[in-house]
Amino acid sequence: MDRPAQSVVDGSKASPKDLPSIDRLLRAPAGTALVSEHGHTLVAAEARALLETLRERALAGTLPIAEVSVDSLIGQLHARVSARLAPRMRRVINLTGTVIHTNLGRAILAPEALAHLAAMMAGPNNLEYDLASGGRGDRDAIVEELLCTITGAQAATIVNNNAAAVVLTLAAFARGREVIVSRGELVEIGGAFRMPDVMASAGAKMVEVGTTNRTHLRDYEAAIGPRTALLMKVHTSNYAIQGFSASVDERELASLAHARGLSVATDLGSGSLVDLARWGLPREPLPQEKLAAGCDVVTFSGDKLLGGPQAGLIVGSREAIARIRRHPMKRAFRMSKLPLAALEATLRLYLRPERLEQDLPTLRLLTRPLDAIRGCAERLLPALADAVGPRFTVRTCELLGQIGSGSLPVESLRSAGLSIAPVQKRGAGRALESLEQALRALDRPVIGRIAEQQLLLDCRCLEDETELGSQLPALARLLS
């Protein structure tokens, strides 16, 4: 007897020969039903993968006999097929307190943008077709006039994102030449976007001037040489240099540059198209101010404070924009018709700034009254406390949120929400982790944040309470 003693005695475990062939599995009535619903290709591939993993477990002697019944196998196959067909991109509920959250897709689109996007994608459109002349059109034309009206620019062009806008601007103005930038503005934003590397990738030579905390006009002046092409300003969107600090504003820089026959470009990062101070929010610089100060080019994102789709917007003088448009990289960075439709509808909302607070979800969330946020937390409290059970205490609390996406890093937004704390100090960390995991495992995952041994759910971005409320029974099941 050379088989391990256990598998002889333990009849509760299956052996590989207990597994059916793929063919037999798919010929079972529930198997043929699956095949007729989804087709043979997908179902057979999943059946093969399922049987392979079960065979391995059977060989290891760890496969319970109950799992090889036809009912169980079909159940497992069904689950695998459904999981394979389920989308990887999912809607989530953002209770992090950060309104424009890069990892959660940044700005959410206005209904007008969604509707225009869906309508334009459902059929052919005039993306590059001039309806007046019947000739070839330019996709920039769809938003250029809007952008010029809103920012006061002479011309505008668009690319995939602001990173592309910056690279393209640098390549068009300064390939093989020098760009002067302050040491206080050598920004790194999340991922691989670091100003020195961006300059190098565009083929421009970066010339740093000044110090981390102080840069003066004379520093730029002294660095200008025969190879200089551009003076560059970068908005320090995700950090602030405070205290003994000095920087040169665009107006002074533009006078210097233009006197020497050079150009000035500003990368604004977020760039809000309206003054947020109007709603009592911290101020973010506006592209229109930078243009009025004399900048030749201003670049900013479409999906940060602007509240639209991912996009890189480039506004500036007629000559500067023409030069950027002519560059071959423009074609490589050109924006797709999908975000373009959403961008057009979003920009159109800015023609009615008085209504923006209602019409633009990003602004609506940023300006949501504290009382409304508190009310939302209070209404959720009883059912949530019920769902998480006696191992946790749930309380409403005051919180500090953020605008996010590198906008206004030092400012926080007064907000409110719920804090969930484990009753027992021992194992509190693990309890919180499993709670967080259960929230993420819901059909519509709920994303909060852990701080000081509590799970915090900031209610600022929770406008549809039923979306969370209806999932609380499922949460209770996951936790039990």
Ligand X SMILES: *Cc1c(COP(=O)(O)O)cnc(C)c1O
Q: Does 460 bind ligand X (CB under 6 A)?
A: no
For ligand X, the closer CB: 233 or 368: 233
User: What Rg do the C-alpha atoms of the chain give, in angstroms?
Assistant: 29
d(C-alpha 182, C-alpha 65), whole Å = 70
Smallest gap from residue 162 Cβ to ligand X (A)? 3
Q: Which of 94, 157, 161, 288 binds ligand X (CB under 6 A)?
A: 161
The CA distance from 190 to 187, in Å, is 10
Shorter beta-carbon distance to ligand X: residue 96 or 301: 301
**Binding flag, residue 301, ligand X (CB under 6 A):** yes
- Residue 330 interacting with ligand X (CB under 6 A): no
**187: contact with ligand X by CB under 6 A:** yes
Residue 67 has phi, psi (to 5 degrees) of -80, -10
Tell me if 163 contacts ligand X by CB under 6 A: yes
Residue among 97, 406, 417, 422 that touches ligand X (CB under 6 A): 406
Instruction: Pick the stretch among 33-41, 206-214, 231-239, 324-332 that binds ligand X (CB under 6 A).
Output: 231-239
Output 269 or 448, the one with its CB closest to ligand X.
269
The helix-helix angle for 162-174 and 318-326 (nearest 10°) equals: 100
Footprint on residues 249-268 left by ligand X (CB under 6 A): 267
- Pick the closer one to ligand X by CB: 308 or 417: 308
Q: Measured from the CB of residue 347, what is the shortest distance to ligand X in angstroms? A: 16
Is 54 a residue that touches ligand X (CB under 6 A)? no
Distance separating alpha carbons of residues 102 and 279, to the nearest angstrom: 23
Verify binding: residue 151, ligand X, rule CB under 6 A. Answer: no
User: Applying CB under 6 A, does 193 fall inside the site for ligand X?
Assistant: yes
| Residue closer to ligand X (CB basis): 94 or 301 | 301
Kindly indicate which of the ranges 65-73, 159-167, 350-358, 433-441 contains the residues binding ligand X, using the contact rule CB under 6 A.
159-167
Instruction: Give φ, ψ of 182 to 5 degrees.
Output: -75, 145
Candidates 72-80, 155-163, 253-261, 426-434: pick the segment binding ligand X (CB under 6 A): 155-163
Give the one residue of 97, 184, 210, 269 binding ligand X; rule: CB under 6 A.
Answer: 269
Q: Closer to ligand X by CB, 234 or 291: give it.
A: 234
Q: Which residue sits closest to ligand X, CB atoms considered?
A: 269
Considering the rule CB under 6 A, would residue 182 count as an interface residue with ligand X? no
CA distance 173 to 326: 11
Residues making contact with ligand X (CB under 6 A)? 161-163, 166, 187, 189, 193, 234-235, 237, 267, 269-270, 301, 312, 406
